[in-house]
Structure 1
Amino acid sequence: MDASYTRRLLYPPIRPLESFHLPVGDGHELYVEECGRPDGIPVITLHGGPGGGVSPALRRFFDPRRYRIILFDQRGCGRSTPHGSLENNTTQKLIEDIEKIRVHMGVDQWLVFGGSWGATLSLAYAREHADRCLGLVLRGVFLCTQIELDWFYRQGANMLFPDAWERLVDPLAPEERDDIIKAYYERLAEPDLVRRRPDALAWARWESALISMAGDPSAPLADPIRADALARLETHYFLHKGFFERDGLLLEEADRFNQLPGVIVQGRYDVVTPPRSAWALARAWPRARLQMIGDAGHAAGEPGVVDALVRATDAFAARLT
């Protein structure tokens, strides 16, 4: 990198212009917030997980003088209710929710921004509603394929993080260890929040330990309530293979969205969603520009990732304005 190159930082913290709960049916109400410029370029931000929820930092990848920034907590997580609910919680339902938010907000087309599971959901949404997308900005591409799930929960990442892996599998009986996702899904079906908390924390700590290159594999997870939603929703979605009709669907049907402009930002040393998926997606999507960040892992907050994402949203703002 040129010595004169200065990495971009997140935009300064901002507060929502408004926030509200939107009923979307099936007993679910979504927390939605709007930030930035009311007449700006609309952008919908899709958080990770499934079950992660939005954070104030997600507002800061966009110039608030140019963007109308719309964020929401997906079903069952964050400030959406009912918290941790798996009922009527599928990828198709989330796509329908995004459309309900778009209609409610009076948006014709918007930029779609998502990382990790948010990238999965962005692609699934664009596959069905490409005509509603101005473009996509994706980070840490995850296609929810069997090979990706096996890497993270069967054989792959455990070779690099044996200490964190041991903490994940230690609570399980020997006969449970052949299928980590199924074992934790069944354990987290325990209706009592307090009784299932150790399993929820064990599940969430595994992922948390591997997200950042600067992370500590033994670091505790601070929020047990958030960990509970994350663990229940991830095991639910991963056991059902993302609720896609077949394995590899998003890549196979890239022609349904690959006419859209896109930017893919991928950490070279991302062990949560390894670069192979981003590379394959870029090969199937000629209008997308892949940026491999050589000193980054999976976390959205790593300096090189922040720089690339902010530059991408600035470039879209210049083009769309």
Structure 2
Amino acid sequence: MTRDLHPPIEPYDSGLLDVGDGNQVYWETCGNPDGKPALVVHGGPGSGAGEGWRRPFDPDRYRIVLFDQRGCGRSTPHAADPATDMRHNTTAHLIADMERLREHLGIGRWLLHGGSWGSTLALAYAQTHPARVSEMVIAAVTTTRRSEIDWLYRGVGRFYPEQWERFRDAGGGGDDVVAAYARLMEDPDPAVRERATLDWCAWEDAVLSGEPGDAKNVYTERPPADRIAFVRICARYFAHGAWLAEGQLIRDAGRLAGIPGVLIHGRLDLGGPLHTAWELSKAWPGAELQIVGNAGHVGSAEARGRVMDALDRFAAAHPATEGGQPIA
């Protein structure tokens, strides 16, 4: 089933939340102030929450919260600035920021929606604060295991050997390609950082190039500052395995028992193969896996329709009875 996104909407409130360590996290709320609370967890890491993330939700039924994770989008300081200290930008920091934002907005529980890296961060938050999560709708499921990182930045090279060889050699030709790019993104020479950014984005685009639909130059054509921030954050997170134990999010999926979840994943997702979503669905009591046969990592019209259907279903089954009342 395919569906059109809801019409564009503007935030009715927004701000910068002081989360400590000199960081200000941008947030905004859209839709119905009395609606069912939902948090959008964007991907990357480092991609920022674009306006399109507002539109899968029915604005009459949802109170939609978006935020830009540390270092990207409208949050400050921005990772494109080489002076920005990245030591205070880890998965644990982002989880704490999400919880601080929930408290700031006076929300008891909220639905989480995200994709790709956003699914990893949503899972990590939900396993840390399960009492604060009402439901989850995640697409292009990843858990950022080192095996998944190795597949995306090495294993997929068997399908695109010429592009991968260029990507590897531009990073210095060493065994740990991701760590090499993380070092390049901290080089004091802006020309080195820019070249590394373009080489990283060219590889990301190559992986998407074989997917159904129009997925050309998704990364390369981003605005320069956003592109640099994305690669700097992404390479740093992946070089550290997102500071997660290998297999942690699947191992601890039992903590999600009682949280309804819909996992939507394209069978043709080359960069993040279906196997991870399949494993997670087996480990998460009550999770529902929907496989979209004609979709890759960036999704499709059918995948979008399934996301919207899941959001509508949860809004109908569990409307905004919690409002802004915190749960004790």
Does residue 216 of structure 1 match 2:216?
yes
Q: Which residue does the alignment assign to 1:290?
A: 289
Counterpart amino acid of residue 153 in structure 1: Y
Does residue 18 of structure 1 match 2:16?
no
Q: Determine helix, strand or coil for the equivalent of 2:17.
A: strand
Counterpart amino acid of residue 222 in structure 1: R
C-alpha deviation, 1:254, in angstroms: 0.8
C-alpha deviation, 1:202, in angstroms: 1.2
Query: Which structure 2 segments of 5+ residues have no match?
Result: 320-328
C-alpha deviation, 1:166, in angstroms: 3.7
Q: Determine helix, strand or coil for the equivalent of 1:61.
A: coil
Higher relative contact order (CA 8 A, sep 6+): 2
Q: Determine helix, strand or coil for the equivalent of 2:262.
A: strand
Deviations 1:284-314 (A, max 9, x none): 11311101000000114x2121111011101
C-alpha deviation, 1:10, in angstroms: 1.1
Q: Distance in 2 between matches of 1:62 and 1:278?
A: 23
Question: Which residue of the other structure, out of 42, 47, 54, is the alignment partner of 1:52?
Answer: 47
Q: Which residue does the alignment assign to 2:322?
A: none
Question: Which residue of the other structure, out of 68, 71, 74, is the alignment partner of 2:63?
Answer: 68
Structure 1 segments, 4+ long, off by >6 Å, are: none
Q: Determine helix, strand or coil for the equivalent of 1:265.
A: strand
1:242-281 aligned within 5 A: 242-244=242-244, 246-281=245-280
C-alpha deviation, 1:217, in angstroms: 6.8
C-alpha deviation, 1:147, in angstroms: 1.3
Q: Determine helix, strand or coil for the equivalent of 2:129.
A: helix
Q: Which residue does the alignment assign to 2:129?
A: 129
- The answer (yes or no) to whether the contact 2:201–2:219 under 8 Å persists in 1 is no
Does residue 186 of structure 1 match 2:200?
no
Does residue 39 of structure 1 match 2:39?
no
- The answer (yes or no) to whether the contact 1:44–1:112 under 8 Å persists in 2 is yes
Q: Which residue does the alignment assign to 2:2?
A: 7
Q: Distance in 2 between matches of 1:217 and 1:60?
A: 23
Q: Which moved more, 1:119-128 or 1:212-221?
A: 212-221
Does residue 204 of structure 1 match 2:163?
no
Q: Distance in 1 between matches of 2:311 and 2:15?
A: 25
Query: Which structure 1 segments of 5+ residues have no match?
Result: 1-5
What TM-score results when the alignment is normalised by the length of structure 2? 0.91
C-alpha deviation, 1:191, in angstroms: 3.4
Q: Which residue does the alignment assign to 1:316?
A: 314
- The answer (yes or no) to whether the contact 2:172–2:180 under 8 Å persists in 1 is no
- The answer (yes or no) to whether the contact 1:164–1:217 under 8 Å persists in 2 is no
Q: Distance in 2 between matches of 1:43 and 1:221?
A: 29
Counterpart amino acid of residue 312 in structure 2: D
Percent of aligned positions with the same letter in both sequences? 43
Deviations 1:9-53 (A, max 9, x none): 211111111221111000100110110000000000000011010
C-alpha deviation, 1:241, in angstroms: 0.8
Residues 272 and 23 of structure 1, relative CA distance in 2, 3 Å threshold: same
Q: Which moved more, 1:142-151 or 1:115-124?
A: 142-151
Deviations 1:250-291 (A, max 9, x none): 111111113210000001111121100000000111311101
Q: Which moved more, 1:184-193 or 1:99-108?
A: 184-193
Counterpart amino acid of residue 199 in structure 1: A
Q: Which residue does the alignment assign to 2:103?
A: 103
Counterpart amino acid of residue 31 in structure 1: Y
Q: Distance in 1 between matches of 2:56 and 2:43?
A: 15
- The answer (yes or no) to whether the contact 2:184–2:192 under 8 Å persists in 1 is no
C-alpha deviation, 1:173, in angstroms: 3.1
Counterpart amino acid of residue 312 in structure 1: A
What TM-score results when the alignment is normalised by the length of structure 1? 0.93
Counterpart amino acid of residue 204 in structure 1: C
Q: Which residue does the alignment assign to 1:30?
A: 25
Q: Determine helix, strand or coil for the equivalent of 2:65.
A: strand
